[in-house]
A and B are shown apart, each in its own frame.
Chain A
């Protein structure tokens, strides 16, 4: 039950923060980062299911007619699974790399869809690239920060830690 409440709170606040920043024109990939974190801490199946549901919620909230977010978040979960097996989890500063990749996977598809559907010209493409760059930068900061904050909470309430996920994997 505690796991359910914990995941719910993380995703609820992620969507809320994404909506709040979105309203001032900032593309914040916090939900994608949260799904990445949850997949590492829990497992791939949980990550895929939650990624799909969260993406669906975000796209319906924004009233999109195409649903790129569920698919992007499923890819994010798979990427997390790959990072868990091949990457380094203990070094916080190295988490910038998945942060960048996750933001790219999550932010690029809707930006491209929107460009081809409603926009034209090189200037707007450049503008979209700038948005993507800012989003990537935010993702790079967000993932290490989230790991530090959530891992400190997890250790207090005795939940699994992101930084010890590899050890758990080897043990199992």
Chain B
């Protein structure tokens, strides 16, 4: 009888311990996600192979056109990249002369969505790269805004990373906080959480100054105040007036609804920004 009581007591204590303490959650996440990684990665590889096979069904002329387009885009990007490198070197030289801190610089890690929760589809997902690949907690995740354009938008942040996988909290999640900047009026605020209804999905930007005006469709970008976040990454636009995007709270600050620029429903390939060491 006593043994039974001790068993239930220890069991309940274990439940409380695991559910409350974040380090224990992190430990379980690391162990379980790394354990399932090879199997989920196998499924991902199979999915990729099927997609590759489906490409071979397309006509030769279509594929030739695709190659030419890619070659053109590649040369354009190479030219832009070398030009930017020159500007970066020049910027570093000038910073040195002015005794300013050197820009940290970021590298990009390419990753793919490994699995998603069908219930929290828009707020969280797991990618197939972990801390062994250089992913760190708090790193910003971006994805293409449009298939045919070379522009990227912020998807979210890395909330935890195990050896081979990492969890991403999207800009809709309440756990993702990003410092943002609105270039049209110079306001800065904190992006934190969001909601969706049947037609729209939006993030909330809080702590915006009350004395400024906020026009619909104003662009919102990252402020770069956090060392892990590069500045000027496109996040979204303030929503149209019909969705009443601006509200005052506590009689002190403005809260704005912004429409994410990335389609969070269809994510496959993403880039993770990590600070160069």
Number of interface residues, chain A, beta carbon within 8 A = 35
Residues of A61-80 at the interface with B, using a CB-CB cut-off of 8 Å, are: 61-65, 67, 70
A155 sits at the interface (CB 8 A): no
Residues of A29-56 at the interface with B, using a CB-CB cut-off of 8 Å, are: 48-49, 52, 56
- Chain A min CB distance to B38 (Å): 11
A20 sits at the interface (CB 8 A): yes
- Chain A min CB distance to B123 (Å): 6
What 0/1 pattern do residues 191 to 207 of B give for CB contact below 8 A with A?
A: 00011111000000000
B18 sits at the interface (CB 8 A): yes
A27 & B198 in contact (Cβ 8 Å cutoff)? no
Give CA–CA (A71, B119) in the complex, Å. Answer: 17
Give CA–CA (A124, B220) in the complex, Å. Answer: 27
Inter-chain contacts of A117 with B (CB < 8 A): 174
B145 sits at the interface (CB 8 A): no
B28 & A56 in contact (Cβ 8 Å cutoff)? yes
Q: Which of A23, A114, A123 contacts B115 (CB 8 A)?
A: A23
Inter-chain contacts of A23 with B (CB < 8 A): 43, 113-116
A22 & B124 in contact (Cβ 8 Å cutoff)? no
B198 & A57 in contact (Cβ 8 Å cutoff)? no
Say which size band chain B's interface belongs to: 35 or more
Known: A19-B115, A22-B117, A60-B25. A118 touches B32 (CB 8 A): no
Known: A16-B36, A61-B32, A63-B159. A121 touches B115 (CB 8 A): no
B23 sits at the interface (CB 8 A): no
B243 sits at the interface (CB 8 A): no
Q: Which of B28, B114, B122, B197 contacts A60 (CB 8 A)?
A: B28
User: B-side interface residues toward A, CB under 8 Å?
Assistant: 11, 15, 18-19, 25, 28-29, 32-33, 36, 39-40, 43, 113-124, 126, 159-160, 167, 169, 172-175, 194-198
